[in-house]
């Protein structure tokens, strides 16, 4: 075996620069650093004042689930029969919260059979479907409520969530039927301001008062931010502290047990996406081998990921990022363009590699094969620096 083959056979790389030097990858490469993921999981476990569950949809990679279990995560937010079975297989002892509030009859039957004990709901009609199939013994149902969006990168409330008045009605109905009555919300994604949770927790107090029922648990959803903007690392501990303080202030000594369900905030920063510059058209626009139909799907919805480093093919870093450039993906669709302009080195050149750090959420499962692109390779590294 020659030197190159030996290096290509490596299963754990040092970092993205080494991968670039050795592989010169023509297709996008998603680099996973398990140690970074486990560190983040431990930060949540040590800092969040309650049960930490992981929102599987943000990145259901089996290696992600296994590393979270290894780090001590014992609960998962699941949204479909596939996710229920995935966690049942990879983490058979973990709690599974089926927190997609709209389900078909067949999906409910599948979940009951799989042993699901925690459900969310945001309407009377869906609650009646649960009453018809889910035995109350030891089962928790959490009405999900919403508020006008506050502090999130985009509004999750436009699809799911009951008004506080309806949530109070649902909470009472759940308790009357003998289920464990809890409450849940999801403040939106990439919330950098702790006030988003505070407002929701205060409303949870109002709902409990209106219903005359103390919820057993309060699930404060996901929305914890990942590190998307160069130089501005989000402060998770300030968010954890505000959630704990507000809950104690609103509910007093008899406060519900807290649960959170981070997706992005848990997984995104444990991945870097290596893309290659296919062309710098007449010295201006940059064309990458990945774009909005691939690993960068989310960017037009929630904004650019600007933690980008550009490497020469020999694995050395180009200089500081400078003037803004228009950046396109590889497909022939004109929407395959990153929003606005991205700050990139002045001397970026064809054949360079642009590495997007923090790219692990909503990027692996949403990668498509549109136009014949999207062949993404997955590799593991010790570090992403």
Q: Put the strands of the sheet holding 95-98 in their side by side order.
A: 180-181, 140-143, 118-121, 95-98, 75-78, 51-55, 257-260, 217-219, 183-184
Nearer to ligand PLP, 119 or 287 (CB): 119
Which letter, b or e, does each residue of 63-80 get, where b requires 16 or more Cβ atoms within 10 Å of its Cβ?
A: ebbebbbebebebbbbbb
Residues making contact with ligand PLP (CB under 6 A): 55, 57-58, 77, 99, 186, 189, 221-224, 261-265, 361
Nearer to ligand PLP, 228 or 264 (CB): 264
Distance, CA of 324 to CA of 369 (rounded, Å): 28
Shortest distance in whole angstroms from residue 262 CB to ligand PLP: 5
Residue with tokens 């023509």: 26
Q: What angle do CA 191, 258, 195 make, to 5 degrees?
A: 30
Which residues are within 8 A (CB) of 113 and not within 5 positions of it... i.e. 6 or more apart?
none
**32 vs 362, beta carbon nearer ligand PLP:** 362
Q: Which residue is nearest to ligand PLP (CB)?
A: 222
Question: b vs e for 335-351, b when ≥16 Cβ sit within 10 Å of the residue's Cβ?
Answer: ebbbeeebebbeebeee
**Closest to ligand PLP by CB, 50 or 263:** 263
Shortest reach from residue 377's CB to ligand PLP, in Å: 24
Nearer to ligand PLP, 219 or 247 (CB): 219
What size, in residues, is the chain? 385
Give whichever of 182 and 189 is closer to ligand PLP, judged by the CB atom. 189
- The partner residues of 222 in beta bridges, in order of sequence, read none
């Amino acid at each position: 075996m020659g030197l190159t083959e030996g290096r290509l056979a490596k299963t754990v790389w040092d970092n993205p620069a080494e991968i670039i030097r050795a592989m010169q990858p023509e297709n996008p490469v998603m680099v996973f650093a398990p140690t970074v993921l486990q560190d983040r999981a431990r930060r949540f476990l040590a800092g969040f004042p309650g049960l930490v569950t992981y929102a599987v949809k943000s990145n259901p990679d089996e290696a992600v689930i296994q590393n979270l279990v290894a780090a001590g995560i014992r609960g998962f937010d699941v949204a479909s029969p596939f996710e229920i079975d995935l966690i049942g297989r990879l983490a058979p002892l973990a709690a599974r919260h089926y927190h997609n509030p709209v389900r078909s009859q067949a999906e409910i039957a599948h979940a009951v059979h799989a042993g699901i004990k925690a459900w969310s709901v945001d309407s009377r009609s869906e609650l009646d479907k649960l009453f018809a199939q889910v035995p109350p013994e030891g089962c928790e149902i959490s009405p999900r409520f919403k508020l006008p969006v506050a502090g999130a990168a985009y509004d999750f409330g436009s699809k799911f969530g009951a008004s506080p008045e309806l949530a109070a009605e649902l909470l009472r109905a759940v308790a009357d039927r003998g289920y464990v009555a809890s409450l849940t919300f999801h403040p939106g994604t990439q919330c950098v301001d702790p006030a988003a949770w505070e407002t929701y927790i205060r409303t949870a107090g109002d709902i409990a008062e209106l219903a005359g029922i103390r919820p057993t648990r309060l699930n404060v959803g996901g929305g914890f931010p990942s590190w998307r903007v160069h130089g501005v690392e989000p402060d998770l501990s300030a968010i954890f502290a505000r959630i704990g303080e507000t809950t104690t202030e609103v509910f007093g000594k008899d406060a519900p047990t807290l649960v959170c369900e981070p997706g992005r905030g848990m997984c995104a920063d444990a991945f870097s996406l290596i893309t290659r510059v296919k062309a710098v058209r007449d010295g201006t626009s940059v064309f990458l081998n990945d774009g909005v139909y691939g690993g960068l799907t989310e960017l037009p919805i929630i904004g650019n990921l600007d933690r980008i480093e550009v490497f020469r093919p020999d694995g050395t870093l180009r200089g500081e990022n400078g003037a803004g450039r228009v950046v396109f993906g590889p497909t022939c669709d004109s929407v395959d363009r990153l929003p606005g302009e991205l700050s990139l080195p002045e001397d970026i050149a064809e054949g360079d590699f642009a590495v997007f750090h923090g790219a692990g959420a909503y990027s692996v499962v949403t990668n498509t094969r549109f136009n014949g692109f999207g062949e993404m390779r997955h590799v593991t590294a010790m570090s992403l620096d």
